[in-house]
Amino acid sequence: MTDKTKKVYHALLEGAQAGLTDKALYQHVVDECHKATSKKIVKASLLALSDPDLKDSNILHTIYALAIKHRLDPSSMDDVDDEKSDVTTTGATKTKAKLVPKKARSDAKKSRVHAAP
């Protein structure tokens, strides 16, 4: 388990043990782990569900409900992993987006600077 997943896992447990559910639990996790994505929350939730030391059925049910909600959430398809964080959108509209790596953007910016009279 990666450190990021552990942090999300512990935030989930803290929030669920404090009695948070649904949106309040999600907000707690995001406040604790600013880069928490739906994918990471689902992964941490599955780890919690498989933890043999966690026996409180209310906590397990709360975590299960959050995992299902974020697994089925269509906006979770937009979550970007850290490996893909070097790609940004330029000239983006709702229907079209052009993906440009950071290096290409910086090279294009340099060429515009040198080409100016």
Domain count of the fold of the chain: 2
60 and 29 in one domain?
Answer: yes
Percent of the chain residues past pLDDT 90, beyond the cut: 44
Query: Cα separation of 114 and 39, whole Å?
Result: 43
94 and 74 in one domain?
Answer: no
28 and 70 in one domain?
Answer: yes
92 and 72 in one domain?
Answer: no
55 and 11 in one domain?
Answer: yes
Total-model pTM: 0.60
54 and 33 in one domain?
Answer: yes
17 and 41 in one domain?
Answer: yes
SS3 content of the chain, % helix, strand, coil (to 5): 65, 5, 30
73 and 22 in one domain?
Answer: yes
Which ranges of 18-99 does DSSP label H, i.e. alpha helix?
22-32, 38-49, 57-72
DSSP labels for 9-38? HHHHHHHHHTT--HHHHHHHHHHH-TT--H
What is the reported pLDDT for 2? 83
67 and 104 in one domain?
Answer: no
71 and 46 in one domain?
Answer: yes
Q: Which of 14-18, 36-40, 108-112 tops mean pLDDT?
A: 14-18
The residue range of the domain holding 19 is 3-78
Percent of the chain residues past pLDDT 70, beyond the cut: 62
60 and 13 in one domain?
Answer: yes
90 and 74 in one domain?
Answer: no
- Sign for the CA dihedral angle at 24, 27, 76, 17 comes to negative
